[in-house]
Chains A and B, each alone.
Chain A
Amino acid sequence: MKSLKTVLLAGFACLALTGNAMAQSVTVYTAGPGGLIEKLAAGFKDETGIDVNVFQATTGKVMARLEAESANPVADVVISASWKTATSFAKKDMLLDYTSDNAKTVPDFLKGPGYVAQGISALAIAWNPKSGTPKPADWSDLTKPEYKDLITMPDPAQSGSAYELTAALAAQPDLGWKLFEGLAENKMIVPGANAQALNPVLQGAKAVVFGAVDYIGLAQAAKGESIEVVFPTSGTVIAPRPMMILKTSSHQDEAKKFIDYVLSDAGQAMVAKTQLMPARSDVKADRPLIADLKILEVDPKTDRKAVLDRFAKTFGME
C-alpha cells in the first residue's frame, strides 16, 4: 500500500514538471464570451508568436480564482465584465500602470491608470416578436397589462449589470421603485443569471427580458432566433469590460503586447464581430454605439446591499 502512495506522488511530480514552463507566453483570465478570447488568442499568436494561456469563466468565478490564488498569483492579464473590478483593483494598487498607444481613441471614461475597456455591452429589452405582444419602446411599457405574466429579468444579486440597471432606474425621478413595483404587479420573474432569463423568452413561455445583455440578444437574432433587442428611450446602463495587467505578472512585456493587440484594428474588429461595442470610438460596428444611446449613470455612493434588499423584497424573494 505504501507503493500506491509513491506512485501517486511520483505521478503528481511528473505532472508538475510538465507545467507551464513556456518562455514566451501570457496567461489571460477572462469573463466570456469564449469565442472572442479564442479568436483573439489565435490572432495574437499569429502576429507575435506568443502563446496565450486562457482561463475563461464568469466574472464571479474569475474573481474567486484570482482571490484564492493570491498567495501565488498565476494570471498576467485579467478581463472582467464588471467595471468596478478595475477601479477597485486600481485602488488596491494591484495593477500595472500601462497605457497602450492604441488606446488614444478610447473615450476617457473607458480607461484609467492600469485599465482600459476591451469592449462595451449595454442592457436592453429583449422581445420575442412571435409572442403576440406589442413591441415595447421603454422600460415603463412593461408595466402595462399586455405583458402580465410575460416578463423575466436577470437577478441583480447574481449579475453585476442587472444590479447597475436596478440602481440607475431606481434613482430616476420619473421611474424609481414605482417602476419595479409595477413590474412586480405584472408578475415579472427573476429566474437567475442572464441565460436563465433569456431561455423562457426564446421558447415562448415568456415574451420579454427586462435588462437583457444586448450583445447576446443581437447574436441570437443573427442566428435566426425570434428575438429583437430594443434600446429603451429613457436610457440604459452600459457595462464596459475592463482589461488590466496585474502588478504580480512575470510576463509584463507579453501582457502589454496583448493589450495592444486587443486594441488594434484587428482585435477591435473581432470585438465588434461578437456584437459588443468596440472600445475605440473610431472602429465601426453594425449595431447602435455609445453615441446612439442615452446612458444612465449609477451614483457611486449607492448602497448596493440596500438596493438588492429592496429589490428582493419587491419581488418576494426574501
Chain B
Amino acid sequence: MIFAAVAPVLIILVAFPLLFVVLQAIFPDIARGIFANPFSRFVETLFDKHLIAWTLNTLMLGGSVVLVSALVAVPLGILRGLFRVPFAGLWDVVFLVPFTIPPYIAALGWIMALQPRGYLEQITGINFGGFLFSFWGVVFVMTLNVFPVVYFAISRMVSSIGGRYLEAARVAGCPPMRSFWRITLPLTTPAIAASLLLVFAMSIEEFGTPAALAARSGFLVLVTGIEQRLSDYPIDLPGASLLSVILVVIAMGAFVLQHRIVSRRDFQTVSGKPGASRPAELGVWRIPVVIFFAIIGFLGAVMPILSVVLTASTRTISGGLSADNFSTENFAEIFANSGGAMEALGTSLSLGLGAAVITGILGTMTAYVVVRQRTVSSRILDFLTLMPNTIPGVVVAVGLILAWNQPWLPVTPYNTIGVLVLAYCCLLLPYPVRYANAALRQVSVSLEDAARVAGAGGIKVFFRILMPLIFPSILAAMLLVFAVAARELVATILLAPIGTKTVALFIWRQFEQGSVGMGMAMSVMAIAITMTIPVAVAIWARKQGRLF
C-alpha cells in the first residue's frame, strides 16, 4: 500500500537522474541522445594509474572519519540521551551549527585560523599549519563537519529506549558499567550503524575539505579526480560519472555491512505504552561532562565561526588583526546590496524548509516500507535512497540535467526553482530515511497489531501510533536537511535556474571576485538566520517536555 505510493516518487526523484549518471558513464555521447561507442572511455578511466591510489585514499579517509566521529559522537549522544546534561538544549543547538556552515567555508575558516600567520598565530604566536594540511588535519575538519549526524541519531534513540531497561538491570543487581555495555550499547546499534553509514557516505563524496586541505600534501581521493575532470576544458563527463559509480560500489559495501549488523538481531524496545523516560543525574560527573561537551562545541561550532567573523570584520586580509583594520564595511555592503542578499536568503530558507518537509514525509514512508516489508524490492529501495549521498553533488547535478532537460518531456522543472527542490530532496533523502529506519526498528509490531485489532486503518496507525513514537528522530533529521539545503553549493552551482540567487551562490560569487570578506559577512548572516529555526524548534520542544 505505502510501497505503491513511495516507489513511483522515489523512481522519479532518485532513480531517474541516477540512471543517467550510469548511462553517461557507459555512453560518452548520451548528452546528445546518442547511444554510440558504449564503454569506449572505460579503458582510459579505469586504467588511470592514479585510480588505485585514489580509491585506497578514499577508503582510508572515509574509514578514519567514521572512526573519529564514533569516538567523539557516540559518548556525547549516549550522555545526552541517558543523563540530565546541564544546558542540554544549548548543546543540541550548538551541534547543529557545523551543518549550517558550508564545508568550503569551514575549511577556509580553519585555514585562516591555523595556517602560519593565521589568526591563531597573530593572537598567540603558535600555528598548526603542519597538522591542518595533513591527512589527520582533513580527518579532523571533516569529523567536526559531520559528527552531529551521529550525535543526534544516538541521543534521540537512547532517550526513546529510556531508562526502563537499565532500571530492570539495576534491580537484578547488574553494575552500571556492565549494563551499559550489555544493554544500552547493543540496543543503540541501529542508530550507531545507520548514522556512521551516513558519515561514511558523506566523507567519501565531500569535495570541499580534501580539495582545500589535502591537495597540497599530495593526498588525492576519488572526488579530487572527479572534480579535476569537471574543472577545466575539455571536461570529461563520462570519466566523472564512471568514478562516481566506483564511489557507489564502495558505499554499497558499507551499506551491506551495516545491513548485516542491524538485521542480526531484534532491537524492538518499544512494545507498550512508552513510559516517560526520566534522565538520570550525573552527580560528580557533571563538571567533566560539561567540559567534554564544551570542548567539542568550541571546536565544531565556535572556532570556525570565529574565524569567519574575524575575516568578515577586517578590511583586508593582509592587514590582519590590527586595530585600524577592523571595520564593518563588509556588513554595510551586504546591507547596501540588501536586495540581492535578502532575496538570496529568502530563496535559501524556502528551499531548506521545502526540502525538509518533503524528505521528512517521504523518508519516513520509505523507512516504514523497508523495515516492515523485508522484501528484495524494499531492500533495493533502501539502497536507492542512500545512493545520492555517495555520489558527489556535482555529478548528481549532471544526472539531473541530463534527465530533466530531455526534449521529449512534456513538462519539466528544469530551469525553474523546482529543479533545486528536486535536487535537494534527492541529495538529502538519506538523512530522514536512515534516522526513521533506525527509529522504526525499535518499535514493536505488536503496537500496530493492537491498533488494527482495535479497528484503526493503516493510515491512522501510522499517524496516531508510529509517528508520535519516532517523531523526535525524524524532526532531528529534518533539521539537518533544512540546514544543509539552505547552504548547498556544489550541485546548486551547476543546476541553478538562470537568474536564481541562493545564499551559497551569493557567497561563492563574492569569493570568485576576491571579496573574501564580503562572502564571509554573508556567511555570518546566513548562519545566524538559519539557526533561528533550530533554536525555535528547541524552545518549542522544551515546552513540550521532550527532546526535539
Which residues of the other chain, B, contact A246 by a CB distance below 8 angstroms? none
A5 touches B218 (CB 8 A): no
A317 and B220 contact, CB distance less than 8 A: yes
- Per the 8 Å Cβ criterion, residues 34-69 of A in contact with B are 34-35, 53-61, 63-65, 67-69
Task: Decide if A199 touches B112 in the complex (CB within 8 Å).
Answer: yes
Q: Does B319 contact A (CB under 8 A)?
A: yes
Q: Is B8 an interface residue (CB 8 A)?
A: yes
Q: Which residues of A (104-159) have their CB < 8 Å from a CB of B?
A: 128, 130, 155, 157-159
Interface window among A95-103, A175-183, A186-194, A294-302: A186-194
Q: Is the CB of A128 within 8 A of B318?
A: yes
Asked if residues B516 and A199 are in contact (CB atoms below 8 Å), the reply is yes
CB neighbours (8 Å) of A82 from chain B are: 232-233
Q: Which residue of B lies closest to A191 (CB)?
A: B216
Provide the residues of chain B in CB contact with A58, threshold 8 Å.
231, 493, 512
Answer whether residue A236 sits at the interface, using C-beta atoms and an 8 A cutoff.
Answer: no
Min C-beta distance of A23 to chain B, whole Å: 16
Query: Which residues of B486-517 are within 8 A (CB) of A?
Result: 493-494, 496, 498-499, 509, 511-514, 516
Interface residue from A15, A19, A203, A216 paired with B115 (Cβ < 8 Å): A203
Q: Decide if A220 touches B406 in the complex (CB within 8 Å).
A: no
- Residues 307-336 (chain B) with a chain A CB within 8 angstroms: 315-320
The answer to whether B5 has its CB under 8 Å from any CB of chain A is yes
In the complex, which range does the number of interface residues on chain A fall in?
35 or more
Q: Are A16 and B513 in contact (CB under 8 A)?
A: no
Determine whether B288 belongs to the interface, using a CB cutoff of 8 Å to chain A.
no
How many residues of chain B are within 8 Å of chain A by beta carbon?
67
Contact indicator B215/A68 (Cβ below 8 Å):
no
Do A216 and B514 have beta carbons less than 8 Å apart?
yes
- With A16-B413, A16-B416, A60-B230 known as contacts, the answer to whether A204 contacts B218 (CB < 8 A) is no
B2 and A59 within 8 A (CB):
no
* Cα distance A220–B319 in the bound complex, in angstroms: 12
**B407 contacts A71, CB within 8 Å?**
yes
Tell whether A13 is near chain B: CB-to-CB under 8 Å: yes
Q: Please provide the chain B residues from 230 to 274 with a CB less than 8 Å away from any CB of chain A in the complex.
A: 230-235, 237
Interface presence of B536 (CB below 8 A): no
A-B contact count (CB 8 A): 198
Of A5, A57, A203, which one neighbours B8 at CB under 8 angstroms?
Answer: A5
Q: Is the CB of A205 within 8 A of B494?
A: no
| Nearest-Cβ distance from residue B9 to partner chain A, whole angstroms | 6
A residues less than 8 Å from B511 (CB atoms): 195
B36 to chain A, nearest CB (A): 14
Which listed segment binds A: B61-69, B297-305, B397-405, B471-479?
A: B397-405
What's the least CB distance linking A237 to chain B, in Å?
15
Within the assembled complex, what's the spacing in Å between the Cα atoms of A199 and B118?
Answer: 11
- Quick check: is A225 within 8 A (CB to CB) of the other chain? yes
- Which residues of the other chain, B, contact A199 by a CB distance below 8 angstroms? 108, 111-112, 317, 516
Q: Out of A63, A198, A203, A317, name the residue touching B117 (CB < 8 Å).
A: A203
Contact indicator A202/B318 (Cβ below 8 Å): yes
Verify A61–B317 contact, CB threshold 8 A: no
How far, in angstroms, from A8 to B494 measured CA to CA in the complex?
23
Give the residues from 48 to 106 in chain B that come closer than 8 angstroms, CB to CB, to chain A: 50, 53
Q: Is the CB of B216 within 8 A of A318?
A: no
Are A54 and B318 in contact (CB-based, < 8 A)? Answer: no
Chain B, residue nearest A155 (CB): B215
- A4 contacts the other chain (Cβ, under 8 Å)? yes
In the complex, chain A residues whose CB is within 8 Å of the CB of B231: 58, 60, 157-159, 193
> Which residues from chain B contact A155 at a C-beta distance below 8 Å?
215
- A84 at interface by CB-CB < 8 Å: yes
A71 and B31: CB pair below 8 A?
A: yes
Are the C-beta atoms of B402 and A1 separated by less than 8 Å? no
Min CB–CB distance B18 → chain A (angstroms): 14
Chain A residues closer than 8 Å to B115, beta-carbon distance? 200, 203, 205
- Most chain-A CB neighbours within 10 Å: which of B318, B319, B412, B415? B318
Instruction: Give Cα A212–Cα B418 distance, bound, in whole angstroms.
Output: 39
B33 sits at the interface (CB 8 A): yes
B512 proximity list for chain A (CB < 8 A): 32-34, 58, 195
Residues of chain B contacted by A192 (CB below 8 angstroms)? 211-212, 215-216
Could you tell me the distance in whole angstroms from the C-beta of B222 to the nearest C-beta in chain A?
A: 15
Give the contacting residue for B235; candidates A11, A56, A64, A316; CB below 8 A: A64
Hey, what's the 0/1 contact readout for B356-386 against A, CB within 8 Å counting as 1? 0010010001000000000000000000000
Q: Is B32 an interface residue (CB 8 A)?
A: yes
Residues in chain A near residue B6, CB distance under 8 A: 1
| Bound Cα distance from A82 to B511, whole angstroms | 20
Name the A residues within 8 Å of B494 (CB-CB): 57, 61, 64-65, 68
- In the docked arrangement, what's the CA distance between A153 and B50, Å? 22
Q: What is B's interface to A at a CB cutoff of 8 Å?
A: 2, 5-6, 8-9, 31-33, 50, 53, 108, 111-112, 115-118, 129, 211-212, 215-216, 218, 220, 227-228, 230-235, 237, 315-320, 358, 361, 365, 394, 398, 401-402, 405-407, 411-413, 415-418, 493-494, 496, 498-499, 509, 511-514, 516
Other than the given A11-B418, A15-B418, 15 more pairs (CB < 8 A) read A8-B358, A20-B415, A55-B498, A58-B493, A58-B512, A60-B233, A63-B234, A65-B494, A71-B33, A190-B215, A193-B231, A195-B512, A196-B211, A204-B318, A317-B218
Q: Which 6 A-B pairs have the closest CB atoms?
A: A1-B5, A204-B117, A226-B318, A68-B401, A60-B231, A15-B416
Listed by A's residue number, 28 A-B pairs whose Cβ atoms lie within 8 Å are: A1-B2, A5-B8, A8-B358, A12-B411, A12-B413, A20-B498, A33-B513, A35-B513, A60-B233, A61-B230, A68-B237, A71-B33, A84-B234, A157-B228, A158-B228, A159-B231, A160-B233, A195-B511, A195-B512, A196-B211, A196-B212, A199-B317, A203-B115, A203-B118, A203-B317, A204-B320, A205-B117, A226-B318
